[in-house]
Amino acid sequence: MRRFLAAAGFLLAFAGAAHWVVPMGREALALVTARDDAAGIADLQLAGVLTPERVAQEVDAALAEGDGEMAASFVELAQARGIPVSAERRARAALANAPGATFVRGAGRFGQGFLTGEAEDLAGLAGATAGDLTVWGDVRDLGREAWHWASGEPVDRLMVNLAGAGIVATGATYAAFGTPLTLRAGLSVLKGARRAGVMGGRLAGHLATTLKGGSKAAAARLVSDLGTAGTRAGTRATFAGLRHVDDAAGAARLRRLAEVKGGQTLAVVKTLGRGALFVTEAMAKLAFWVMAAVLNLFGLVSSFNAMVVATLRPLWKKKPRRSPFLPA
């Protein structure tokens, strides 16, 4: 009886713990399995944080700041995940992104960014990036760095390298009728990120090391990945993701996220931050939950087996043994 009660107690304890240990372990295992798929990581992590209340809060905050792009990204993300958004919020987000409204707000700053490459806001940054898609933007930046050199001021060698590569890429784009367009777009993204200060020191160092090492193919893949991300998700979303990119692997993850999420990418990065691309920071915690779930399942099976054995033990009949010394 004592064995039965002990086994039953363990079974109840493991069953109670399974209510929260097993689901957490299953979620952790899914995250660990999807660690190389940024889109899969984002989907799994959004399930726990993106609620209707969070969406409404983010949309209202973006609209209050006049940020129609962010509001529209959250509306698109919510609709893709089946989260209800009020008709009034959808209408306000659509109105904030109407072509006429955005043109009136940013036409002058766009032109200034196109001509000078200097930007104080998103409209100016868009103009600077548009200038980069032509030879003008690269010549402009090379001329600026040449003036810095002649004046004895510090020269941004990475910007010089990017502008020089941009001239070559632009010529190749026209010669091949637009074939290497993602490479050209990626260079524009990197130059814009450098000007906006969103390119981390690790990524800049990785690019410099890659170019010094003569691995031009690897550098071209990284730039093309960023170009694809910018084409699919937009320049601003790519800049937001670049804050968390340190190397070519991170650029590939950002490209994957942009390819799958498109216009939702900006909202995804705003919600999850670095967690939209990586799970390495939480890997130890995830491994703990996987192990806890496995041990819990093992405990359930073992305690159930012990309880069954304790229940059937009294029913077993022991056969009397014959002494080997007794005559047959």
- Each residue's pLDDT tens digit, 92-146: 998 888 766 555 555 566 666 766 666 555 566 667 666 766 677 778 778 888 8
Residue 176 has pLDDT above 90, yes or no: no
Amino acid 179: pLDDT = 46
Measured from the Cβ of residue 37, the count of other Cβ atoms closer than 10 Å reads 15
Residue 276 has pLDDT above 70, yes or no: yes
69: confidence class by pLDDT, cuts 50, 70, 90: confident
Give the tens place of pLDDT for each residue, 255-266.
Answer: 999 999 999 999
- Name residues whose C-beta falls within 8 Å of residue 315's C-beta, 6 or more positions apart in sequence: none
Mean pLDDT of 35-48: 80
Distances (CA, A) of 259 to 114, 229, 230, 233, 255: 27, 7, 10, 7, 6
Measured from the Cβ of residue 213, the count of other Cβ atoms closer than 10 Å reads 10
Question: Is the CB of residue 7 less than 8 Å from the CB of residue 307?
Answer: yes
| CA gap 202, 279 in Å, rounded | 19
- Grouping H, G, I as helix, E, B as strand and the rest as coil, residue 293 is helix
Evaluate the CA torsion angle 118, 124, 128, 131 in order and state its sign. negative
In DSSP notation, 84-110 reads ---HHHHHHHHHHT-HHHHHHHHHHHH
Residue 264 DSSP symbol: G
Task: Give backbone dihedrals phi and psi of 213, rounded to 5 degrees, phi first.
Answer: -75, -5
| CA gap 96, 70 in Å, rounded | 10
Evaluate the CA torsion angle 105, 186, 277, 241 in order and state its sign. negative
| Average pLDDT value over all residues in the chain | 75
| CA gap 155, 84 in Å, rounded | 51
For residue 123, which amino acid is it? A
Amino acid 32: pLDDT = 63
Q: For residue 226, what is the enclosing H or E element?
A: helix 216-233
Residue 45 has pLDDT above 60, yes or no: yes
Evaluate the CA torsion angle 149, 153, 157, 160 in order and state its sign. negative
Residues, the chain: 328
For residue 62, which amino acid is it? A
Q: Which tokens belong to 196?
A: 């906006």
What radius of gyration, in Å, describes the C-alpha atoms of the chain?
A: 30
pTM of the model: 0.67
Question: Is the CB of residue 227 less than 8 Å from the CB of residue 192?
Answer: no
Q: How far apart are the first and last CA of the chain?
A: 39
Give percent of the chain with pLDDT exceeding 90. 18
